[in-house]
Amino acid sequence: MFVKSLLQSFTPRRRAAGVLCLAALMALEGSSSAARPPEKEQPVIFTVDVAEDLAGKFVPTFVKPEHTQPERGSFFVTEGRIFPAGTITGDGATFDPNRSGHIGVWFCRGTHLVSASEIPAAPLWVNSAQLFILGRQGKEQISTEGVEGAGTIVRIVTGGAGNYTGFVGEQRQTFLGFNPTGGVNLRVTFTLRKVAD
């Protein structure tokens, strides 16, 4: 309203010059806002539950032939199933990892940091790489690296495939308890960000 009344007080020639000036200022403001960097993308955050099948899928190696359990330095590979968040209630002591309703498969390979008999008392158990394969087609994948143990552990998301291509971030893993196979029950929250191109 103020600009309009100001322009009306000018002579026709001055009014035209004022309009051109105003248009130039608006164009300049528009170009400066276009030059600003885009807002940082919001992270993708979601949670899943994991139930390991220790009886059927866990395969350890032994540091020495006389060992009867995995010791520090023993390599292992194991597997489990991924379920929607909250599927495993409490510590999951009666939860069957092979029950229906899973939304993916979880693979884990790594090295023991302590003897098997020291689990779960030791704060850190293994150093591992995990692969989360989500969906029935197996195209959606997230890979992580880090240590595992009691309580909540933060791990590194190293990359992904499918809809997670180009994402990195953080895996917050909470140990819930052990299921009937002796495997761990985990609640995992991912915080993912797309890497800038």
pTM more than 0.95: no
Fold (CATH) for 44-194? AOC barrel-like (2.40.480)
pLDDT digits (tens, 9 = 90+) for 133-142: 999 888 999 9
pLDDT digits (tens, 9 = 90+) for 9-52: 445 555 544 444 444 434 434 444 445 555 567 899 999 999 99
Query: Which helix or strand (DSSP H or E) is residue 179 part of?
Result: none
pLDDT digits (tens, 9 = 90+) for 97-128: 999 999 999 999 999 999 999 999 999 999 99
- Report in angstroms the alpha-carbon separations of 197 from 14, 61, 165, 176, 194: 49, 41, 12, 37, 9
Q: Which residue has the tokens 């403001």?
A: 29
- Domain ranges within the chain, ordered by starting residue: 2-35, 44-194
SS3 state of residue 60 = strand
